[in-house]
């Protein structure tokens, strides 16, 4: 079998790149950056990629709306794309500089950095550290933390530093001065791993996390399966949404999250994106199929977006 | 009684300003712009304002996340602020220029506009018009459509045009060259109207739309009441969310929307923001209070965010 092709939102060194690299065994996959989420989904639909690793939710900021819109798939562009796994990435930020700028490291730092680079969201995530050590220092917004690392890696005229991940530092060959400068130690992004269900190359990997977490994580994992389903209901019919949600409970599927996006067919009508979980047992065998059958009776449209193994462990919960 | 003080997100001429002006009878209220949504909520909590008019949802883009975070009120900053009404504003864009620039109007336009100004979101909403008449013309992003109108109103050196509302044109005294240049005629923003429940000045207006819609709209309004409730559940307890949602149905409250935001207490735990409706009747009298009582039994936290009259009519649905 040829090497797996795994696609993600670039640039190289992005958190998506890191999640893709950590989800698949090093060296076993070709990692292919894309310029947008729709491009990653399109590559999968056209079977130009085997997997896509896409952020869907951050523990601090909530849902990634662009990803919800891809799941809603209003125009039916990605009808063969389904979720087959998930990956939790804890967001750690580092302060980094061009290689060799401070041979003594942070201990010997003389206060000479004059400019900081990072993505706008990262400033707020490192406020305590920045207030303590870099009060008043000029801040330059850039399009990604990885881009910030790239800029300082090529810096020659001024003393610049970037806030980015250790992964980005390795990609761009910068020196990390300080690690874990973020305010919240538990800021985590959940990525969904997608495949094309018609792709026979990856069929045998279905429901399996391509690269399993470490054994200590595994011990604390709840052996649950998660399922993603989207549906629309007739909004003029009172109780339609409640009736649809009742079906999950009736089949032993535990509702864990509900998101909504505008249908764009008519204002104030929504596509519901529901995630549910179950611990597989003899009683709930086939529960997802039965729930989908019932849902089709009470919904206007309804779609199964895949089932995969829970990877949320005590260490990232 | 002194004049009502109505607060909204500025600048003057913004869609929020328009919604505030149209929600309250002209001349009966002092309209007070704020620089952020939290500032508007804080003014209400401190009784420095009587009402706040805040966008909560757009028919094309979905929920306004900052508003959901205010409703979630994780730190209990706005405990006396509740919804008392809503207002639907259809978003129309105009092309406008400095007063007197084109005395012949659009009919006599000679193609001499060299630069366009608007908020980034508005470009995408007017793509058909812009592609037809302004292909290749320089575009300058600004922080609001109202700001764009202000810039061109003071333009002296170049031929600039702004994309903004007729309301903004009136605020800044620009000439409207073309009206309704938006792609979608049905792009509508829903505003919620908030008050401080301890404010006796506004108590008698509770549940009433301060300025009723026109009579033809009124005829087509469904006589429903809407209620907003937030709650959190114990995520380790299977079925907790379904059980909470069941309570609405049990009391005859029709679930119409469900939003989620991170609790920020622990990753992957959410605050649910649920909207439900009912046509008042003898059977469902007190339904909201009964549902809240039951919800308190199955939820960790639970809060009533107010009940108000539905203003969604056939003309804006």
Query: Cα(B267)–Cα(A186) distance, rounded to whole angstroms?
Result: 7
pLDDT, one tens digit per residue, over A260-286 is: 999 999 899 999 999 999 998 888 889
Question: What are the chain A neighbours of B248 within 8 Å (beta carbons)?
Answer: 242
Query: Do residue B270 and residue A257 have CB atoms under 8 angstroms apart?
Result: yes
Mean pLDDT, rounded, for A151-155: 94
User: What is the predicted pLDDT for the residue at B282?
Assistant: 86
Of B249, B255, B260, Cβ closest to residue A257: B260
Q: What is the rounded CA–CA span in Å between residue B274 and residue B253?
A: 11
A90 touches chain B (CB under 8 A): no
Average pLDDT in the A104-118 region? Answer: 94
* pLDDT value, residue A316: 61
Q: How far apart are the C-alpha atoms of B289 and B27, rounded to whole Å?
A: 37
Q: Where are the beta strands (DSSP E) in A35-187?
A: 51-58, 62-63, 81-90, 94-97, 115-118, 138-141, 160-164, 175-178
Nearest to B242 among A248, A259, A268 (CB): A248
φ and ψ at A9, to 5 degrees? Answer: -80, 120
Which of B60, B255, B264 is facing A264, going by the closest CB pair?
Answer: B60
pLDDT of B285 > 90? The answer is no
Looking at the predicted structure, is the pLDDT value of residue B313 above 80? no
Query: DSSP 3-state assignment of A38?
Result: helix
- Short-list A145, A131, A136, CA closest to A176: A145
Q: What is the mean pLDDT of residues A119-125?
A: 91
What helix, strand, coil percent values describe chain B, rounded to 5?
30, 30, 40
Q: State residue B215's pLDDT score.
A: 44
Contact B60 A245 (CB under 8 A): no
Report in angstroms the alpha-carbon separations of A199 from A67, A77, A81, A245, A288: 22, 16, 10, 31, 22
- Predicted pLDDT at A155: 87
Query: What is the pTM for the complete model shown?
Result: 0.89
d(C-alpha A283, C-alpha A252), whole Å = 9
pLDDT at B315: 61
pLDDT value, residue A312: 87
Mean pLDDT of B233-258: 91
Note the pLDDT tens digit of each residue in A166-212: 999 999 999 999 999 999 999 999 999 999 999 988 876 643 444 44
**Is B145:B165 a contact under the CB 8 Å cutoff?**
yes
Nearest Cα residue to A206 out of A88, A307, A73 = A307
Of B62, B258, B262, the CB nearest to A59: B262
- ipTM score of the complex? 0.87
Q: Is A268 on the interface with B (CB under 8 A)?
A: yes
Tell me what the pLDDT averaged over chain A comes to. Answer: 90
- Percent residues over pLDDT 70 in chain B: 92
Q: Is the pLDDT of residue A44 over 70?
A: yes
Chain centroid, CA A295 distance in Å: 28
Nearest CA in chain B to A233: B256
Tens digits of residue pLDDT in B5-14: 999 999 999 9
* Chain B interface test: which of A56, A59, A185, A242 (most B C-beta within 10 Å): A242
Phi first, then psi: what are they for A162, rounded to 5°?
-115, 150
Say yes or no: B115 contacts chain A, CB-CB below 8 A.
no
Contact B262 A317 (CB under 8 A): no
pLDDT tens, position by position, A53-101: 999 999 998 999 999 999 999 999 999 999 999 999 999 999 999 999 9
Inter-chain residue contact A249 with B242, CB threshold 8 Å: yes
- Given an 8 Å threshold on Cβ–Cβ distance, is B62 in contact with A249? no
pLDDT band with cut points at 50, 70 and 90 for residue A219: very low
Is B281 an 8 Å CB contact of chain A? no
As a whole-number percent, the residues of chain A with pLDDT over 70 amount to: 92
Inform me whether the pLDDT recorded for B111 exceeds 60: yes
């Amino acid at each position: 079998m040829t090497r797996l092709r795994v696609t993600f939102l670039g640039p190289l060194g992005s958190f998506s790149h890191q999640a893709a690299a950590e989800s698949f065994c090093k060296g076993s996959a070709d990692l292919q950056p894309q310029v947008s989420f729709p491009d990653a989904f399109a590559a999968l639909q056209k079977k130009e990629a085997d997997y896509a690793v896409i952020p869907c939710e951050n523990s601090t900021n909530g849902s990634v709306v662009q990803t919800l819109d891809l799941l809603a798939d209003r125009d039916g562009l990605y009808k063969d794309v389904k979720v087959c796994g998930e990956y939790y990435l804890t967001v750690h930020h580092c302060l980094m500089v061009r290689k060799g700028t401070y041979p003594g490291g942070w201990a010997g730092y003389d206060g000479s950095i004059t400019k900081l680079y990072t993505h706008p969201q990262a400033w707020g995530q490192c406020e305590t550290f920045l207030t303590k050590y870099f009060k008043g220092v000029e801040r330059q917004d850039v399009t990604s933390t990885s881009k910030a690392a790239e800029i300082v890696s090529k810096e020659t005229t001024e003393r610049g530093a970037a806030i980015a991940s250790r992964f980005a530092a390795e990609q761009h060959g910068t020196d990390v001065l300080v690690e874990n400068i973020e305010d919240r130690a538990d800021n985590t992004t959940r990525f969904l791993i997608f495949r094309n269900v018609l792709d026979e190359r990856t069929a045998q990997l279905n429901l399996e996390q391509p690269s399993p977490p470490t054994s200590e994580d595994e011990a604390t994992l709840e052996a649950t399966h998660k399922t993603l389903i989207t549906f629309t209901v007739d909004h003029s019919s009172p109780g339609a949404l409640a009736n649809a949600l009742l079906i999950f409970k009736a089949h032993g599927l535990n509702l864990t999250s509900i998101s909504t996006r505008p249908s764009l067919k008519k204002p104030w009508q929504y596509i519901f994106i529901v995630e549910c979980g179950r611990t597989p047992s003899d009683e709930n065998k086939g529960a997802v199929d039965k729930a989908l059958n019932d849902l089709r009776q009470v919904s206007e449209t309804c779609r199964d977006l895949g089932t995969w193994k829970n990877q949320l462990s005590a260490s990232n919960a």
